[in-house]
Amino acid sequence: QFTPRVFSGIQPSGGLHLGNYLGAIQGFVKKQEQDIQTLYCMVDMHAITVWQDPAELTQNTRELAAGFIASGLDPAQSILFNQSQVAEHAQLAWIFNCVARMGWMKRMTQWKDKAGKNSENASLGLLAYPALMAADILIYHATEVPVGEDQKQHLELTRDIAAKFNNDYGVDFFPMTEPVIEGAATRVMSLRDGSKKMSKSDPSDMSRIKMTDSAEDIAKKIRKAKTDPEGLPSEVEGLTDRPEARNLVNIYAALAEQSAEEVLAEMGGKQFGEFKPLLADLAVAKLAPISTEMSRLMQDTAEIDRILAKGAAAASEIAAPILKRTKEIVGM
Ligand code: ADP
Ligand code: NA
C-alpha cells in the first residue's frame, strides 16, 4: 500500500570519506538509476547535536551537496536538499519524541559511543538523534534507506517508532522501512586499526581516505595501511581473523563493483606490497574525477544554493500532507 520511495542522509560535519562513499553514496546512485523516487539530504540538524562552527557548517553543507552531485546524484532525478530547510522534519520529530521511550534512545550504540562517560554533559539532541532520523525517513513514508551497517540499529528503532505510533493511534499510517545495506564494503574500517570503523571523528588523518585527498595522499595512506605478514588468500575463508587484510580486499571489491570472492580469485597469492599499489591506482581512478568535479562545483556556491532550495521545495510538497495527516491522527 506504500509507494516505494528512497530516502537517506549524510551529516555535513566535514570531510566525506571513503566509508561514506562505499557504504552510502554508491548505493544512493544505484537507487537513483532504478525506477523509484529518491530523496537525499544533508542532515545539518543532526550535525549540530555536537558543536559545529557556523561558517564551517554552511561551507560543509555546500561541499556535501557538491560531493553528492559529483558522485553522480543528479538534481533532475533525485531530490537533493538540506534538512533544516524543510520544517516538517523537526515538526514530526517532536511528535516522535513523545512516541519514543527514553530507554530506547539510551540503548543505542551510537549514543553510548558518542556521549561516552560524560553523558550528562552531552546535548539532549544527541540522545534524541534517532527520533529525528525516524522523522527524516517517515515524513516521506520512505520504504527503503540505503546506509552503511552502522545505521542498522537506528533503522530498527525507526520501525519501532512507526509501529508504536501505528499501534498507539490504531492506524496503519507509517510504513516499516527497510535498510538497504549492499555492496562489498558496508562497514569500511580504519586503515590504522582494523577494529574501528573509518570515521571523520577519528583523530588520525592516516586512518581514512577523504574524497578530496590528492592522488599522492591516497597512495601514501594505502601504502601505510596496516596489514599482516601474510599475502592474499585465494578464498575469503583465508581472511578470517585478519580484519585489516579483509578491509583492503573489501575496499578493492567495492571500488571495482565486484565481490570479495571475485577479487581473491584474481589476486590470491599476491603479497600486499604488490596489491596495495593496484588498490591505490583503482582508488585514485575512482575518486580523482569526483574530487575534481567537487572543486569545480564549489566555485559556484550560488548554484548549489539554488539546487538545494529547489530540492527543499520539492521535498516539502511530499512532506506537508503527511505531516498534516499525522497531526490529525494525533488530534492536532
Ligand atoms: P560519519 O559516520 O562519518 O559521521 P554519517 O554518520 O553522516 O558519517 O554517515 C553517513 C552515511 O555513511 C551513513 O549511511 C553511514 O552508515 C555511512 N558510513 C559512515 N561511515 C562508514 C563506514 N566506515 N563504512 C561504511 N559506511 C559508513
Ligand atoms: Na554514522
Instruction: Give pLDDT tens digits for 291-312.
Output: 999 999 999 999 999 999 999 9
Closest by alpha carbon to 6, among 114, 145, 138? 145
The helix/strand/coil state of 259 is coil
- Report the C-alpha gap between 82 and 314 in whole angstroms: 12
Residue 178's SS3 state is strand
Q: Which CATH class is domain 5-180+300-330?
A: alpha beta
- Looking at residue 15, its pLDDT comes to 87
Annotated active-site positions, please? 114, 197, 200
Residue 228: pLDDT over 90: yes
- pTM value? 0.96
Assign a CATH topology to domain 205-295.
Tyrosyl-Transfer RNA Synthetase (1.10.240)
Contact 40, 73 (CB under 8 A): yes
Q: Which residues are annotated as a binding site?
A: 11-13, 19-20, 136, 148-150, 188, 197-201
DSSP 31-65: HHHSSSEEEEEE-HHHHTTS---HHHHHHHHHHHH
Instruction: Please determine, for residue 1, whether its predicted confidence score (pLDDT) is greater than 90.
Output: no
**What residue segments make up the domains of the chain, in order of their start?**
5-180+300-330, 205-295
| 104/155 Cα distance (integer angstroms) | 12
Q: Is the CB of 24 under 6 A from ligand 1?
A: yes
pLDDT of residue 127: 98
- What cell was used for 27? 548505493
Residue 200: CB within 6 Å of ligand 1?
yes
Cα 198 to averaged position of ligand 2 atoms, centre (Å): 10
What average pLDDT does the structure give for the chain? 97
Query: Sign of the C-alpha dihedral, residues 193, 195, 199, 201?
Result: negative
* 113 alpha carbon – ligand 1 mean position (Å): 14
Model confidence at 185: pLDDT above 90 = yes
How far is Cα 118 from Cα 101, in angstroms, rounded to an integer?
21
Q: Is the pLDDT score of 167 beyond 90?
A: yes
